[in-house]
Amino acid sequence: MKRFILVISFLALTFTMGAQQARQYVTPYAEPDHQDWVYKCGETAQVKIYAICENRMMPNVEIKYSYGPEKLKANFEGSVITGKDGYATIKVPGRREPGFTTIRTSIDVNGKNYTGMTNLGYEPYNIKPTTSLPDDFTEFWEGAKAKAAEVPMVTKIRRDDNQSTPTVDVYYVKIQSYRRGNYVYGVLSVPTEAKYRNADGKMPAVLRLPGATVRAFNGPNDLASRGFIVLEIGVHGIPVDQDPEIYGALVGGSLSGYATMGLDSRDTFYYKRVYMGCIRAIDYLCSREDVDTDRIAVYGGSQGGMLSIVTASLDKRVKAMVCQFPAFCDVTGYYYGRSGGWPHLFIDKKEPNIEARINTSKYYDVVNFARFLTIPGYYAWGFNDIVCCPSSTFSAYNVITSPKRLEISRDSGHWLYPWFVEEGIKWLKNEFKMEE
């Protein structure tokens, strides 16, 4: 029987990040006078405030607005009445330091409230991280990798006839990782068409890394239709082909809040096993006779973007990366009075054992892995992302010294328009010298 796939958003269910609507009947806007939404520090922004209903500006309506530092309490609230042309203009004072100012708008129509937001960037390419690099960062991770490498890579692979197609074979894989009895589970999609193979019969491969979810995975992966062998893994050490009820129970039970489990110590933090599992997935790809080990990439968004940077930093067998709105960037931001990355830690400076938890975070923060990247990367995110906010993602991007390309989708939140995704795939194929 064909298995139904339940996609459970861990972000929404466990951290209540707030859903971002793609379209409302009425949408209030704050339109910056700079087309790129970017300003110099100290520069005042002239901003049009208006609301769109059925593709028309609404004249003579009241729109409330506020502005202040990204993700933090607004430092000004007010309201305007739109004129006969349907808009009003306000001035937003410039930030003193690089970062983002959030303008929030709202309007009440027929008893319903509609909201909008716009993030203004102030010298975003000059944003510096608040986190710092531990002196023994490299030593710690080299030691972790060496210990994990001692564990035999016992694998089990099963072809799924129902999901396989004439052009892609689909397999479920189980790979021992990190310690004996611990496994990485995933779905492997292998193109069958000879045109994708080189003279040695090998193909490029992608390790597809997941967002913050607890769910099943199925195939064939869309990248396989573009000529890549794709291994898409889960990160929780549980099979990825189970009934939906199992994942729902895990979200509400033992995996609730997993992104902060064990944070009191760098040796017990949840993501240590996850990071090592990503390395083991690369081990598996390199063990396959049909994989061109000179053309291995990582690909992911949100938690998957986080894991892409980490894996590419720790494992030099990775040759290219596509990274979208990475999580866990500069997570100490809130502690120092500005926004931080998902999962939004250290907001309460009086939380128990906070110094130890901050110290642990430094060994896992994407910023510190980004410092050691040596491969080319394609990056993409939006200014209006409230989950992996741009102050955090720019903190990581700005420390990268290897070849990099960033595409900004200014009005998108924790999502990207399809053409940004397509451009990332084209970029990767070009890096690997692949034909369409």
Is 70 a residue whose pLDDT tops 70?
yes
Q: pLDDT digits over 326-371, tens only? A: 999 999 999 999 999 999 999 999 999 999 999 999 999 999 999 9
Distance from C-alpha of 247 to C-alpha of 9, rounded to nearest angstrom = 11
Flag the least confident range among 2-6, 55-59, 199-203.
2-6
**Both structure tokens of 15:** 């951290």
* Residue 20 pLDDT grade (very low, low, confident, very high; cuts 50, 70, 90): very low
Residue 385 among the catalytic residues = yes
Residue with tokens 């479920």: 172
Three-state SS annotation for 119-165: EEEECHHHCCCCCCCCCCHHHHHHHHHHHHHCCCCCEEEEECCCCCC
Q: What is the pLDDT of residue 435?
A: 84
**Both structure tokens of 229:** 């062998």
Distance from C-alpha of 329 to C-alpha of 130, rounded to nearest angstrom = 10
Look up the CATH number of domain 137-431: 3.40.50.1820
**117 in helix, strand or coil?**
strand
Q: pLDDT digits over 364-407, tens only? A: 999 999 999 999 999 999 999 999 999 999 999 999 999 999 99
The alpha carbon of residue 424 and the mean position of all alpha carbons in its chain are separated, in whole angstroms, by 14
Is 7 a residue whose pLDDT tops 50?
no
* Residue 4 pLDDT grade (very low, low, confident, very high; cuts 50, 70, 90): very low
Q: What is the pLDDT of residue 213?
A: 86
Give me the mean pLDDT over the 401-423 stretch: 97
Residue 308 among the catalytic residues = no
The fold of the 18-126 domain, in CATH, is: Immunoglobulin-like (2.60.40)
* Cβ within 8 Å of residue 162, ≥6 positions away: 2
Q: What is the pLDDT of residue 11?
A: 36
**CATH 3.40.50.1820 domain locations along the chain:** 137-431
Cβ(382)–Cβ(413) under 8 Å?
yes
The alpha carbon of residue 34 and the mean position of all alpha carbons in its chain are separated, in whole angstroms, by 27
Write out the H or E segment, with its range, that includes residue 284: helix 270-287
**Both structure tokens of 249:** 């129970």
Q: Shortest CA distance to 325 belongs to which of 415, 423, 235?
A: 415
Out of 283, 292, 315, 385, the active site residue is 385
Out of 169, 177, 292, 302, the active site residue is 302
Q: What is the pLDDT of residue 22?
A: 56
- End-to-end Cα separation, the chain, in angstroms: 35
Q: Shortest CA distance to 99 belongs to which of 174, 40, 177?
A: 40
* Residue 24 pLDDT grade (very low, low, confident, very high; cuts 50, 70, 90): confident
* Residue 297 pLDDT grade (very low, low, confident, very high; cuts 50, 70, 90): very high
**Both structure tokens of 273:** 């096993």
**CATH 2.60.40.1930 domain locations along the chain:** 18-126
Q: pLDDT digits over 102-157, tens only? A: 999 999 999 999 999 999 999 999 999 999 999 999 999 999 999 999 999 999 99
Neighbours of 388 (CB within 10 A): 31
**Neighbour-count burial for 274-287, b at 16+ CB within 10 Å, e otherwise:** bbbbbbbbbbbbee
Neighbours of 153 (CB within 10 A): 13
- Mean pLDDT estimate for the chain: 94
Q: Shortest CA distance to 227 belongs to which of 197, 201, 207?
A: 197
Residue 135 among the catalytic residues = no
Distance from C-alpha of 318 to C-alpha of 434, rounded to nearest angstrom = 17
* Residue 100 pLDDT grade (very low, low, confident, very high; cuts 50, 70, 90): very high
Q: Shortest CA distance to 410 belongs to which of 373, 367, 372, 380?
A: 380
Out of 236, 283, 361, 414, the active site residue is 414
Give me the mean pLDDT over the 79-108 stretch: 98
